[in-house]
Structure 1
Amino acid sequence: MPNNPGAVLDRPTIGTLGRLIPAPGPQRMLAASNLVFTVGSGMYLTAGVLYFTEAAHLPAARVALGLLLAGLLSLALGIVVGHLADRYGARGVYATALLVQAAATAAFVIADGFWPFVAAVSVATGAKAAGVAARSPLIRRHGGERPQQFRAYLRAVTNIGVSVGALFAGWAVQTGTTTAYDLMVLAIAALTVASAAFLVLLPPATAPPPGTGPGPRWAALRDRPYLLLTVLDGVMAIQFKVLTVAIPLWLIADTAAPHWLIAATMLTGTLMVIALQVPASRGITTLPAGAAAYRRAGLAFLAACCLVSCTTGVPAWAAATLLITAVIVHTTGELWHAAAGFEVSFALAPEHATGQYLGVFGLGAGLAEAFGPALLIGLCIEWGRPGWYVTGAMFAVTGAAVPAAVRYAERHRALEPAPQ
């Protein structure tokens, strides 16, 4: 039997369509907390920008600037809070981050100008980044012998929650009143509080984590191979904006495909992640397997970008067929990329510093979130077809570089002295 107290779900039934709910125990509580939280996230992702422009009456350009500032300010918080979670207990730190995020989100309704908006959204965004890092030690502790597999399961749950939240957000958008938008924001805050409440049912840590004695305090920032992999994963993470930014803009401006196909592409990708993320992760159980999955993902993104580039100048039916095919190919690469990231980031992170290391690894995705949309718009939309080929090549080259970076990390880890 595994010695991890959260091992109750480490069996083949996890994430299958026949059994979506974990067995009773810590994993069920984490899954429930994640589901409730991501329903709120789905509302915010769908209508958050509209809230600021329609209900708070801020110009779209100022909203974009405020969100960029908030994203940049939040980058370092993941490392700091992850370190606090390692030292003082992830459950309490994660719950605190959720409560701070809830309070900041509720403050949106009283943010009556640009700077109050920046302050509220910065605190909310920073707390969200902090929560992601603080949750990582909980996933490792309660995720069974394969916490990477449980992390894949949580990603499938996330897509379910976001889809449900998007439906509720549709009511606020359709109603279009300030009251409806305010109710949506308060509902997001309430769901975030409810997410924190589930954490009370998790068992507290019974002993200090090993390895918290002598050694570099900020080891992750000194781990050059891990930092290299963080950079490479950050470049690959720009792919998440292909489906949400580049393809919708391209479909409207450069193809004859019907505009409703945007929703169809989003739905296709979401359903694939819900159904296939856990199966896609099962064979990626070693560092070499994770490195190979990065390489496959890069090639899939290249193929998808090439397919999208062919959708201009063709009949609507052909453009629609090519776009749906491209989304399927791209999402297959996304499944591999996500699974590979789970494996590499967890396997190379010392157990006693999981929060700190995963906080560092999240920097790459944070930078992709901040700068990815502008990069893709410049390459794929403003440049056009050649930009799609350059974007695909960027992903393919990055994926091809990961195996060498993983070997470098393995050699570096082999040379490290054993913990005392």
Structure 2
Amino acid sequence: MPHLMPNAGPQRVIAVSNFVYTVGSGLFLTAGVLYFTQAVHLPAGQVGLGLGIAGFVSLAAGIAVGHLADTHGARGVYATTLVVQALATAGFVLADSFWPFVLTVCTATGAKAAGLAARSPLIRHYGGDRPQEFRSYLRAVSNVGISFGALLAGWAVQVGTLTAYQLLVVGNAIAFAASAAVLVLLPPVTPAPTVGGPRWIALRDRPYLLITALDGIMAIQFKVLTVAIPLWLVTATTAPRWLVSGTMLINTVLVIAVQVRAGRSIDSPAAGGGAYRRSGLAFLVSCSLISLSAGIPTWAAATLLMTAVIIHTVGELWHSAAGFEVSFALAPQYATGQYLGVFGLGAGLAEALGPTLLISLCITWGRPGWYVVGALFALTGLAAPLAVRWAQRRQHARQPPPEAAWV
């Protein structure tokens, strides 16, 4: 990544803060569930229920805090969400029963969703002429940070003691706090002029809401790699189990290497709509290959799964770049945080509902379920360009007075 590092200045500060944050995220993503089940000894069912509750509770946080970032300054609001997330994560050490667990994980998850929305005006302000491309770069940095965090988490999992897991949690909280501290080096952003009309304009923008819903359906693809493929590989194929790690490694390396380049080629809402369409077709092909990996020799199953993961990752790159493009380009600058908060609703619902949907279709139903999921992605991708054109027509018709005050 060194040749991709931004020049000294605000972009580098945001990138460093993001890297430190995602190292902490990698710790929890890899071993967070194991901490609560193996170290705290909460039943797996309670952990799953608590995480689901947290996912739904966090949905509204992004819109409200994104609006605060628009109207009161994004740097301070974003830093506050990181501090809240650090404190809530540290509280995991004291969460020794179900309801304290639910309280802390809801707070942490809500702060995470709020932070993503609050960071959006910073990306737009300091991202140069193409903030969407800078957002693609940050995604590549995120994958590097998560990889480092995953390696560190591996030590805690291997040791397996309560102390080791608690050190992991404390390290996670420290990373979030350090990420907030780095933002002191970032110049503050003056809130954009507000406009007349309803306060929650993003919730009234029906084309943008439709794109949010379509992106949310497409975002279920992120759970294919982390939920569906590992379960399918272990229960339905003869592929070696170590291939679960291999598929994740291939995905991570490709995202780090190619995401920025993919973002450069998608430089307009129309191009974003086309990328959605291509990603849906790529997911259809990859899901079909995964379904064919059952009931065949080990070498053939492994080959099909690896090929499917590569094709899936190409679709993921297109999907992510399309989301970055349309979410920024179709949002008015004075309400970036609010609009990006709304856009996060789709991914939030996919996070909450995606695992259950994929397990029901792909694992419980089996091979036919993979074709259903692939068709769902393909149809969503085909609908996206139509929604984007509708949103562009609305955007051209919307010309708010730049100096009016919100009422």
> Scaled by the length of structure 2, what TM-score is found?
0.98
Aligned twin of 1:68: 52
Aligned twin of 2:3: 19
Q: 1:267 aligns with which of 249, 253, 257?
A: 249
Q: 1:191 aligns with which of 136, 158, 175?
A: 175
- Distance (Å, rounded) in 1 between the aligned partners of 2:247 and 2:42: 30
Residue 418 of structure 1 and its aligned partner are, at CA, apart by 4.0
The code of the aligned residue for 2:259 comes to: Q
Q: What is the DSSP-based 3-state SS (H/G/I as helix, E as strand, rest coil) of the residue aligned with 2:4? A: coil
Residue 415 of structure 1 and its aligned partner are, at CA, apart by 2.0
- Distance (Å, rounded) in 2 between the aligned partners of 1:128 and 1:280: 26
Q: 1:292 aligns with which of 274, 298, 301?
A: 274
- Distance (Å, rounded) in 2 between the aligned partners of 1:109 and 1:398: 41
- Distance (Å, rounded) in 1 between the aligned partners of 2:284 and 2:220: 13
Residue 20 of structure 1 and its aligned partner are, at CA, apart by 2.9
Q: 1:29 aligns with which of 7, 13, 17?
A: 13
- List per-residue Cα deviations over 1:22-42 (Å, max 9, x = no partner): 110000000000000000000
- Distance (Å, rounded) in 1 between the aligned partners of 2:122 and 2:146: 22
- Distance (Å, rounded) in 2 between the aligned partners of 1:170 and 1:417: 53
Residue 213 of structure 1 and its aligned partner are, at CA, apart by 3.5
Q: What is the DSSP-based 3-state SS (H/G/I as helix, E as strand, rest coil) of the residue aligned with 1:77? A: helix
Q: 2:292 aligns with which of 279, 302, 310?
A: 310
The code of the aligned residue for 2:110 comes to: G
Residue 410 of structure 1 and its aligned partner are, at CA, apart by 1.0
Q: For 1:18-97, what aligned pairs fall within 5 Å after superposition? A: 19-97=3-81
- Distance (Å, rounded) in 2 between the aligned partners of 1:85 and 1:40: 23
Aligned twin of 1:245: 227
- List per-residue Cα deviations over 1:95-125 (Å, max 9, x = no partner): 0000000001001101121101100111011
- Distance (Å, rounded) in 2 between the aligned partners of 1:19 and 1:208: 32
Structure 1 residue 411 and structure 2 residue 396: aligned?
no
The code of the aligned residue for 2:159 comes to: T
- List per-residue Cα deviations over 1:2-32 (Å, max 9, x = no partner): xxxxxxxxxxxxxxx5603211000000000
Structure 1 residue 380 and structure 2 residue 362: aligned?
yes
User: 1:208–1:104: structure 2 CA closer, same or farther, 3 Å change rule?
Assistant: closer
The code of the aligned residue for 1:209 comes to: A
Q: 2:103 aligns with which of 96, 101, 119?
A: 119
Q: 2:89 aligns with which of 105, 112, 118?
A: 105
Residue 214 of structure 1 and its aligned partner are, at CA, apart by 1.6
Structure 1 residue 343 and structure 2 residue 343: aligned?
no
Unaligned runs of 5+ in 1: 1-16
Aligned twin of 2:115: 131
- Distance (Å, rounded) in 1 between the aligned partners of 2:46 and 2:390: 43
Aligned twin of 1:256: 238
Query: Is the Cα contact below 8 Å between 2:10 and 2:126 reproduced in 1?
Result: yes
The code of the aligned residue for 1:100 comes to: V
- List per-residue Cα deviations over 1:159-195 (Å, max 9, x = no partner): 0000000000000000000000001100000010000
Q: For 1:125-164, what aligned pairs fall within 5 Å after superposition? A: 125-164=109-148
Query: Is the Cα contact below 8 Å between 2:74 and 2:191 reproduced in 1?
Result: no
Aligned twin of 2:343: 361
Aligned twin of 1:235: 217
Q: 1:203 aligns with which of 178, 187, 212?
A: 187
Query: Is the Cα contact below 8 Å between 2:283 and 2:312 reproduced in 1?
Result: yes
The code of the aligned residue for 1:260 comes to: W
Aligned twin of 1:174: 158
- Distance (Å, rounded) in 2 between the aligned partners of 1:332 and 1:364: 21
- Distance (Å, rounded) in 2 between the aligned partners of 1:401 and 1:354: 24
- Distance (Å, rounded) in 2 between the aligned partners of 1:65 and 1:117: 11
Q: What is the DSSP-based 3-state SS (H/G/I as helix, E as strand, rest coil) of the residue aligned with 1:200? A: helix
Q: What is the DSSP-based 3-state SS (H/G/I as helix, E as strand, rest coil) of the residue aligned with 2:185? A: coil
Q: What is the DSSP-based 3-state SS (H/G/I as helix, E as strand, rest coil) of the residue aligned with 1:19? A: helix
Query: Is the Cα contact below 8 Å between 2:31 and 2:157 reproduced in 1?
Result: yes
Q: What is the DSSP-based 3-state SS (H/G/I as helix, E as strand, rest coil) of the residue aligned with 2:293? A: coil
User: 1:320–1:80: structure 2 CA closer, same or farther, 3 Å change rule?
Assistant: same
Residue 419 of structure 1 and its aligned partner are, at CA, apart by 2.7
The code of the aligned residue for 2:146 comes to: V
- Report which stretch shifted further, 213-222 or 126-135: 213-222
User: 1:272–1:375: structure 2 CA closer, same or farther, 3 Å change rule?
Assistant: same
Q: How many residues align?
A: 402
Aligned twin of 1:3: none
The code of the aligned residue for 1:97 comes to: T
Residue 394 of structure 1 and its aligned partner are, at CA, apart by 0.1
Residue 204 of structure 1 and its aligned partner are, at CA, apart by 1.2
- Distance (Å, rounded) in 2 between the aligned partners of 1:208 and 1:235: 32
Aligned twin of 1:13: none
Q: What is the DSSP-based 3-state SS (H/G/I as helix, E as strand, rest coil) of the residue aligned with 1:76? A: helix
Query: Is the Cα contact below 8 Å between 2:195 and 2:400 reproduced in 1?
Result: no
> Scaled by the length of structure 1, what TM-score is found?
0.95
- Distance (Å, rounded) in 2 between the aligned partners of 1:320 and 1:419: 58
- List per-residue Cα deviations over 1:72-97 (Å, max 9, x = no partner): 10100000000000000000000000
- Distance (Å, rounded) in 2 between the aligned partners of 1:413 and 1:346: 12
CA RMSD of aligned residues (A): 0.8
User: 1:341–1:399: structure 2 CA closer, same or farther, 3 Å change rule?
Assistant: same
The code of the aligned residue for 2:32 comes to: G
* Identical columns (%): 69
Residue 152 of structure 1 and its aligned partner are, at CA, apart by 0.1
